[in-house]
Amino acid sequence: MNGPWNPSAGGRLEQALVYGLGLSGRAAARLLLARGVAVQVVDDKAVDRGDLEESITLLPGGTLRQLPPGVDLVVVSPGVPLDRPLLEDARRCGVPVVAEVELAFPFLNGPVVAITGSNGKSTTTAMTGEMVKAGGLTAEVCGNIGEPLAEKIAGPPGRVFVVEMSSFQIEGIATFRPRAAAFLNLSEDHLDRYGALEAYGAAKKRLFRDMGPEDIAVLNADDPETLRTETQARRRLFSRLGRVEDGCFATEDGRVIEVDGGAETPLFHASDVPLAGVQNLENAMAAALLARAVGVEPAAIRAALRSFQGLPHRLQKVGESNGVTFYDDSKGTNPGATMKAIEGFADGTVHLILGGRNKDADLAALTPMVRRKARRAYLIGEAAAEFAAALGDAVPYELSETLDHAVHSAAEQARPGEAVVLSPACASFDQFRNFNHRGDVFQELAREIISGKTGGAPHG
């Protein structure tokens, strides 16, 4: 970022370039066009116009290295690294390079509640939205969860914008300032883009940089790196493991208590959270503090949690066969997510399916938790050999290669009371279109076994 985007400041924006034509980029292009800006769009790969308006100029696909003449602003999609030659040229020319969320922010007519972190963002965003709605407010749930913020501008004032924020989006903000924001956790992820955990964490912490004392920063007291976030906002902490002075904490008997100015208020009980996994208790605590920041009462928070259905592929219970339960956690795409996913299972009861495409994470970080929780591991995809080296003799494992073989082998060897868990700690792009595709395939295989349509022996 080399300068703020501010439509209320002097000067007229006449031409803009949108780089990246996913949902975010297309929404940005439509927003600019609706405000009288001439729009050019480009993607690193060849794309068709799709639903783009005819007045938008589609530049040839491929890597454009120089900024076209006359461009006043570049809007970059989250999947486009900021070191692309075109973006470096824009910065040299003094042209602001902003994210779609930054483009949309000045046009919003209500408070912003933002959620970031390595794991649990989408679930926490969805939970927060449900709590806000249960509190009688109108919530626009958007951002990295699937619907661009730029698509939510039109509407009545006073809506609460609940926005999931990836580090890629936060890299492109300048004036974006949430009323409340949560930093859920930090673990190794996207190191193929950032190179080091410190750089990845710095990208996320930027969200809190310009928040003021009247704003709320919700931070995970059990995650030391989130606590090192520098901000002028009021720091409200959540903890599953110990008491906090401002925020909320879980007691040994499962109560979650809010502490505010010395007063203690029951928020909800762990049994109100209908989702498996200790991480979902943490997600619920963060969501509750965000909802409290916009005035939602505890009764509404409890009601929202009890009816919350969860999101697909996040430690989702698929079903049970002969006492063996199948869980789809395909969204567990880094070691931190997988550790949280299996932490709540009884020791030695998990048949864990690991593997895919590693994003330069240290897979050995998983080994202590796998040694404790897993009875056996099933290794698939590009990272199978790397996992084998990381696990050593910590737990018996097999090189299953494919998800099909892994699921059938795990089902054959699991005993009543145990669980077959897909939580791969890797991206899916070596064998699947995305994590949704991988999870769908797992669920199909599991349901075949549950229904008795297939035996335990591998096939395919």
The rounded distance, in Å, linking the Cα atoms of 80 and 100 is 12
Among residues 144, 283, 334, 358, the one annotated as catalytic is 144
Long-range contacts of 440-445 (CB under 8 A, 24+ apart): 441/403, 441/404, 442/318, 442/326, 442/328, 442/330, 442/353, 442/403, 442/407, 443/316, 443/318, 443/328, 445/403, 445/404, 445/407, 445/408
Q: Are strands 112-116 and 139-143 parallel, antiparallel or unpaired?
A: unpaired
Six token digits for residue 438:
């991988």
Residue 101 has, within 13 A of its CA and on its CB side, a CA count of: 30
Q: Annotated catalytic, 144?
A: yes
190 part of the active site: yes
Closest to 273 in 3D by CA, of 240, 297, 247? 240
Q: Decide if 194 contacts 205 (C-beta within 8 A).
A: no
Amino acid at 412: E
What whole-number distance in Å separates Cα of residue 116 and Cα of residue 196?
18
Known catalytic membership, residue 121: yes
Options 133, 152, 190, 405, the catalytic residue: 190
Question: Any idea which residues carry the catalytic annotation?
Answer: 121, 144, 190
